[in-house]
């Protein structure tokens, strides 16, 4: 079955960068866009962007442009998100989610989430 | 940017009751709307996409309707495992989510 397994929790200082990974299995990784969504503590869901693992093409939410980089490694079916210049507002659970039908579609299934805590 | 509004914010019901959740878009999204369920400490799960299509493995008690700006998620008879937060989402170049409706036990 389709499964997305994310890397473990991170604690970072303000101004640092963080990289979260998402390893996919159960489907052809390069055939489906991969989305990243975050959720601050007690808050709602915020879409950050997607990557086409086949081409490397990305589409970032305007809020994160210049600060986020999404990449993929098809040889190991793994996607990455790097977020730089962290502030306390970036404390959140970061989720990856497979595109439902391939091309900037709905999100499903999701990884288990990675908690990123930004604290001095 | 399309803004999604969900009502009510909290819905208190008993098991076996019918739940009706609403999502309104600030401009037409045609039928490009989905619903997700999230339980505490878990990732969201896709329930409904394209306004009315149930995702794989989703029970028939969940149904979606609507088009344009007004959408509804209905749970025909609440099971204990259905008490959760529900988000609507539209898709275009920059997908956004509604703020969520919490369905809790009365």
The predicted pLDDT at position A24 comes to 98
Query: Which chain A residue's Cα is nearest to B50?
Result: A106
Cα pseudo-dihedral A61, A65, A71, A77, rounded to 10: -20
Classify the C-alpha dihedral B32-B38-B43-B46 as positive or negative: negative
CA-nearest residue to B43 within chain A is A112
- Cβ B91–A62 below 8 Å, yes or no? no
Residues comprising chain A, all counted = 120
In b/e form, how buried is each residue of A59-70, taking b as 16+ CB within 10 angstroms?
ebbeebeeebbb
pLDDT (tens digit per residue) in A27-63: 999 999 999 999 999 999 999 999 999 999 999 999 9
User: What pLDDT, on the 0 to 100 scale, is given for residue B1?
Assistant: 85
Nearest-CA distance A14 → chain B (Å): 25
**What is the overall mean pLDDT for chain A?**
96
Mean pLDDT along residues A58-74: 96
- State the Cα–Cα distance between residues A14 and A34, nearest whole angstrom: 27
Q: Per residue of chain B (106 residues), what is the pLDDT tens digit?
A: 899 999 999 999 999 999 999 999 999 999 999 999 999 999 999 999 999 999 999 999 999 999 999 999 999 999 999 999 999 999 877 899 999 999 999 9
CA distance A82 to chain B (A): 19
- pLDDT higher than 90, residue A104: no
- Backbone phi, then psi, for A55, in 5-degree steps? -105, -20
Chain A nearest-CA distance from B44, in A, is: 7
Q: B-chain residues within 8 Å CB-CB of A61?
A: 94
CA distance B20 to chain A (A): 20
CB contact under 8 Å between B91 and A113, yes or no, is: no
Q: Find the CB nearest B46 among A46, A95, A100.
A: A100
Task: Return all residues near A17 (Cβ < 8 A) that are at least 6 apart.
Answer: A82, A83, A84, A85, A86
Measured between CB atoms, does A36 come within 8 Å of chain B? Answer: no
Q: Which of A18, A65, A31, A35 has the alpha carbon at shortest distance from B96?
A: A35
Q: Kindly state the tokens that stand for A73.
A: 């490694």
Q: What is the pLDDT of residue A100?
A: 93
What's residue A103's pLDDT?
79
């Amino acid at each position: 079955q389709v499964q997305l397994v994310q890397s473990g929790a991170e604690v970072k200082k303000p101004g640092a960068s963080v990289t979260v990974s998402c390893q996919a299995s159960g489907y052809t990784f390069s055939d489906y866009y991969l989305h990243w969504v975050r959720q601050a503590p007690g808050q709602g869901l915020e879409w950050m962007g997607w990557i086409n693992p086949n081409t490397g093409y990305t589409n970032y939410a305007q809020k994160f442009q210049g600060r986020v980089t999404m990449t993929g490694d098809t040889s190991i079916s793994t996607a990455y998100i790097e977020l730089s210049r962290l502030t306390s507002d970036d404390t959140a659970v970061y989720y990856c989610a497979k595109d439902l039908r391939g091309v900037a579609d709905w999100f499903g299934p999701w990884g288990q989430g990675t908690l990123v805590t930004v604290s001095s | 940017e399309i803004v999604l509004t969900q009502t009510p914010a909290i819905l208190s019901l008993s098991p076996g009751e019918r739940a009706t959740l609403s999502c309104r878009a600030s401009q037409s999204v045609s039928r490009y709307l989905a619903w997700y369920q999230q339980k505490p400490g878990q990732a969201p799960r896709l329930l409904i996409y394209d306004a009315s299509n149930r995702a794989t493995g989703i029970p028939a008690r969940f149904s979606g309707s609507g088009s344009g700006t007004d959408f509804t998620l209905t749970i025909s008879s609440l099971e204990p495992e259905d008490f959760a937060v529900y988000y609507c989402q539209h898709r275009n170049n920059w997908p956004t989510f509604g703020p969520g409706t919490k369905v809790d036990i009365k």
